């Protein structure tokens, strides 16, 4: 096995990973920084896929306090308030950094100020964007800057285990697979950033990029860390439904379609949202998604089992002008968005939960830092659209600064626990030693069971069923081998490893969902449809102990504002 060493190792090259690399290098140019990524740098992950934009309070009349209150109320008071405050205040610096230091161009008003558009759940139009391709602008500029600096890159390198030092007290490094050769690599590091971006790709319909399989959260659980708010999975109402033979199924048709006046129709061609919410198609994501599933369960569906989105009444030319990208995406799959009907279905989009971390991005394991969608606590029970990329860039930058300060004072190149390396190698090699089986069929089973029993509607019976089914699925996966013996670019092997991570994290979502006996934010329990009082509000943590997922509760600390109060003056509110 190849062994490398670096001062700072960053896992992932989304907004969090690339910002961390730039900040770490700037703060401590003498330290070696390495970015290791499962895909190609700048070409993978979800930051690149950001369509809508980036929330930040910039305009006169808006304020960090207002952005904060929207974030806390959107998060149904579950957020770690100090993290949310850091998000809204540092975003104001980060957006300037993106424009003035890194070279991003965002859309502007005729007077030269940055244009900010409306996004759901916000009391002010604060979403900065570059047309409907904001993520490409951000990630391309970040990638260029990283490539221009003395930052090492390990592309197509997949992290598989966080390895503690021999004495167990701190992290020694990360076990990885060089996907090009199929060989194992151990990277010893003084500090490691987990920025692999979560991603709820265990659901039948999902939006995130194919390289995301919750590896970071799974590695954190295996390393003994706690995750929080794992029951909070956000579903976007309008995923494209283009049949089971295309990966385009599940990808997002942007919220602006409903915002601009698009209708949702049942299979009978009639609007149905009036049965569920007076705001009709413009209700919040969670309500529209639940209403859609309720309508689907009534059997009022399209040929592929979804619903229709209808933009025809807005005029073909206008729809083409406003939603060029969406019209083209639908045309690729044989649908005419501007002049016809398109099949849609709610789709798993984002995980509010993740690794418990502090404002400086430290975690409970010395030497391990975390940022971006791998972390929990910033968004609480629901994420505002536009707060995701703000989260990854804000905390990615902070993580880079923190690691640069921490390494000279505390960071050592520690000798790894060789037994832990051997144990992780054995898990990864398991499918190589078994007779080959149908990994695809196991993945389909995971999709279906998470969709049916741990999806938009949940209840105790379904969650208990899922608990057992996930353990059984994991055991079957362990007995299923991969075809072929060459490990170079063996995608079936990586599918197997993806499933291993996804099943473990699915167990965490299921346990957390069972533990929260109320409906709050993105989590809806049919058997507990009411939202409990905010008195004694607790967040749920999950950890892996002796192979079992164990839940715990911690009281939410309202450090800046209490439920029923506001940071805004009466006039501003």
Ligand X SMILES: Cc1cc2nc3c(=O)[nH]c(=O)nc-3n(C[C@H](O)[C@H](O)[C@H](O)COP(=O)(O)OP(=O)(O)OC[C@H]3O[C@@H](n4cnc5c(N)ncnc54)[C@H](O)[C@@H]3O)c2cc1C
Q: According to the binding rule CB under 6 A, does residue 16 interact with ligand X?
A: yes
In the complex with ligand X, the residue whose CB is nearer, 198 or 306, is: 198
Interior/surface letters 122-139, b for 16+ CB within 10 angstroms, e for the rest: bebebbbbbebebbbbbb
Binding mask 211-240 for ligand X (x = CB under 6 A): xx--x-------------------------
Least spacing, CB of residue 85 vs ligand X, in Å: 18
Q: CA 331, CA 244: separation in Å to the nearest integer?
A: 17
Under 8 Å CB-to-CB from 124, ≥6 apart: which residues? 57, 59, 61, 62, 66, 67, 70
For residue 385, which of 117, 54, 131, 134 has the smallest C-alpha distance?
Answer: 54
In the complex with ligand X, the residue whose CB is nearer, 500 or 523, is: 500
For residue 488, which of 170, 147, 156, 234 has the smallest C-alpha distance?
Answer: 156
Least spacing, CB of residue 89 vs ligand X, in Å: 17
Query: SS3 of 444, please?
Result: helix
For residue 207, which of 376, 331, 104, 329 has the smallest C-alpha distance?
Answer: 329
271 is catalytic: no
Q: CA 266, CA 275: separation in Å to the nearest integer?
A: 12
Least spacing, CB of residue 50 vs ligand X, in Å: 4
Number of residues that bind ligand X (CB under 6 A): 40
In the complex with ligand X, the residue whose CB is nearer, 264 or 348, is: 348
For ligand X, which residue has the nearest CB?
14
In the complex with ligand X, the residue whose CB is nearer, 155 or 281, is: 155
258 is catalytic: yes
Half-sphere exposure of residue 449: CA atoms within 13 angstroms, side-chain side: 25
In the complex with ligand X, the residue whose CB is nearer, 54 or 308, is: 54
Least spacing, CB of residue 270 vs ligand X, in Å: 29
Binding mask 248-287 for ligand X (x = CB under 6 A): ----x-----------------------------------
C-alpha distances in angstroms, 42 versus 22, 39, 47, 501?
14, 9, 9, 23
20, 21, 33, 36: residue in contact with ligand X (rule CB under 6 A): 36
Q: Of 364-403, which residues contact ligand X (CB under 6 A)?
A: 372-373, 385-389, 392
Least spacing, CB of residue 330 vs ligand X, in Å: 15
Q: CA 271, CA 425: separation in Å to the nearest integer?
A: 54
Binding mask 184-213 for ligand X (x = CB under 6 A): -----------xxx---------xx--xx-
94, 126, 141, 158: residue in contact with ligand X (rule CB under 6 A): 158
In the complex with ligand X, the residue whose CB is nearer, 195 or 470, is: 195
* Helix axis angle, 439-453 to 460-478, nearest 10°: 170
Least spacing, CB of residue 202 vs ligand X, in Å: 14
Q: CA 521, CA 510: separation in Å to the nearest integer?
A: 16
Which member of 129, 141, 258, 443 is catalytic?
258
DSSP one-letter code for 442 = H
Least spacing, CB of residue 254 vs ligand X, in Å: 8
The one segment of 11-19, 223-231, 280-288, 544-552 that binds ligand X by CB under 6 A: 11-19
Q: Phi and psi dihedrals of 33, rounded to 5?
A: -125, 130
For residue 19, which of 127, 91, 81, 114 has the smallest C-alpha distance?
Answer: 91
34, 51, 116, 188: residue in contact with ligand X (rule CB under 6 A): 51
Residues in touch with ligand X (CB under 6 A): 11-17, 36-39, 44-47, 49-53, 158-159, 195-197, 207-208, 211-212, 215, 252, 350, 372-373, 385-389, 392
């Amino acid at each position: 096995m190849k062994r490398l060493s670096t001062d700072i190792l960053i896992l992932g090259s989304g907004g969090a990973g690339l910002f961390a690399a730039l900040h770490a290098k700037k703060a401590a140019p003498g330290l070696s920084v390495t970015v290791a990524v499962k895909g190609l740098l700048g070409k993978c992950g979800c930051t690149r896929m950001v369509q809508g934009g980036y929330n930040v309070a910039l305009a006169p009349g808006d304020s960090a306090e207002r952005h904060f209150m929207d974030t806390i109320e959107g998060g149904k008071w579950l957020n770690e308030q100090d993290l949310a405050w850091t998000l809204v205040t540092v975003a104001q610096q980060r957006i300037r950094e993106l424009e003035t230091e890194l070279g991003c161009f965002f859309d502007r008003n005729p007077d030269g100020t940055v244009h900010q558009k409306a996004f759901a759940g916000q009391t002010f139009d604060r979403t900065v964007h570059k047309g409907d391709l904001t993520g490409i602008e951000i990630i391309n500029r970040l990638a260029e800057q990283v490539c221009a600096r003395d930052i090492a890159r390990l592309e197509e390198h997949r992290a598989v285990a966080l390895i503690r030092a021999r004495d167990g007290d701190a992290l020694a490094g990360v076990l990885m697979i060089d996907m090009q050769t199929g060989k194992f690599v151990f990277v010893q590091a003084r500090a490691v950033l987990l920025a692999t971006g979560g991603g709820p790709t265990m659901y039948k319909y999902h939006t995130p990029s194919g390289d995301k399989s919750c590896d970071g959260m799974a590695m954190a659980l295996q390393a003994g860390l706690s995750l929080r708010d794992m029951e909070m999975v956000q579903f976007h109402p309008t995923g494209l439904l283009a049949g089971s033979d295309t990966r385009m199924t599940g990808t997002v048709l942007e919220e602006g379609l409903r915002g601009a006046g698009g209708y949702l129709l049942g299979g009978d061609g009639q609007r149905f949202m009036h049965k569920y919410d007076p705001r009709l198609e413009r209700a919040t994501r969670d309500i529209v998604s639940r209403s859609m599933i309720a309508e689907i369960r009534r059997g009022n569906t399209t040929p592929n089992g979804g619903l229709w989105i209808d933009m025809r009444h807005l005029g073909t030319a206008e729809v083409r002008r406003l939603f060029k990208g969406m019209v083209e995406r639908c045309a690729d799959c044989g649908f005419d968005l501007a002049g016809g009907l398109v099949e849609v279905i709610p789709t798993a989009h984002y995980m509010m939960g993740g690794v418990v971390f502090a404002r400086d991005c430290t975690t409970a394991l010395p030497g391990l830092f975390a940022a971006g969608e791998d972390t929990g606590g910033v968004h609480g029970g629901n994420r505002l659209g536009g707060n995701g990329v703000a989260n990854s860039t804000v905390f990615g930058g902070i993580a880079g600064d923190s690691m640069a300060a921490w390494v000279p004072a505390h960071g050592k190149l520690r000798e790894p626990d060789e037994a832990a390396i051997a144990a992780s190698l054995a898990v990864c090699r398991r499918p190589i030693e078994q007779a080959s089986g149908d990994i695809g069929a196991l993945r389909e089973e995971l999709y279906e069971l998470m969709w049916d029993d741990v999806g938009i509607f949940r209840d105790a019976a379904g969650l208990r069923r899922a608990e057992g089914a996930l353990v059984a699925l994991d055991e079957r996966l362990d007995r299923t081998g991969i075809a072929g013996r060459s490990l170079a670019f063996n995608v079936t092997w990586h599918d197997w490893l993806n499933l291993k991570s996804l099943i473990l994290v699915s167990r965490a979502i299921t346990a957390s969902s069972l533990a929260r006996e109320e409906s709050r934010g993105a989590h809806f329990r049919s058997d507990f449809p009411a939202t409990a009082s905010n008195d004694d509000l607790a967040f749920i943590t999950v950890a892996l102990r002796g192979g079992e997922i164990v839940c715990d509760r911690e009281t939410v600390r309202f450090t800046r504002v209490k439920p029923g109060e506001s940071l805004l003056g009466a006039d501003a509110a």
